[in-house]
Amino acid sequence: MKTKNDVTQESNVLWFNHKKNYVRTDEVVYLKSIENYTKFYLRNGRQFISSHTMKIYEQQLQNTGNFTRVHRGTLLNLKYLTKFEKDTEGNWAYLSTGERIFVSRRKIKKFEGIAPANLFEV
């Protein structure tokens, strides 16, 4: 069993509640901004709200390389991305958890050049 000091050393952990609670970054599916709060959506279906802005978490998650903004208020873990879909309602990212996330027009452009062709369905 890992002690708190062992977990503190790990770079793939986000801390909450004055370092009383933590979550592993690979467990985070996506984050949504709610004014000055951030709502976390985890792989196991659990959700919780943090009193920090999403910008703070985006800066912490930059070194993992898996997270990117797909909308002004949404930060997505690319590990859970299965495909993109464009329809009359807009651009959508489908996740392995079964969820569908809106992707802004400006943000979809950065994926078109780097994502495999099978990610995009029209």
- Write the pLDDT tens digit of every residue in 90-103: 899 999 999 999 99
Average pLDDT, the chain: 82
Q: Round to whole Å and give the CA distance between 43 and 20.
A: 21
Tokens of 111: 């994926």
Place of tokens 């569908």: 100
Q: How confident is the model at residue 37 (pLDDT cuts 50, 70, 90)?
A: very high
> Distance (Å, rounded) from C-alpha 58 to C-alpha 72?
12
Percent of the chain with pLDDT over 90: 43
Q: Is the pLDDT of residue 86 over 70?
A: yes
Q: Whole-model pTM? A: 0.80
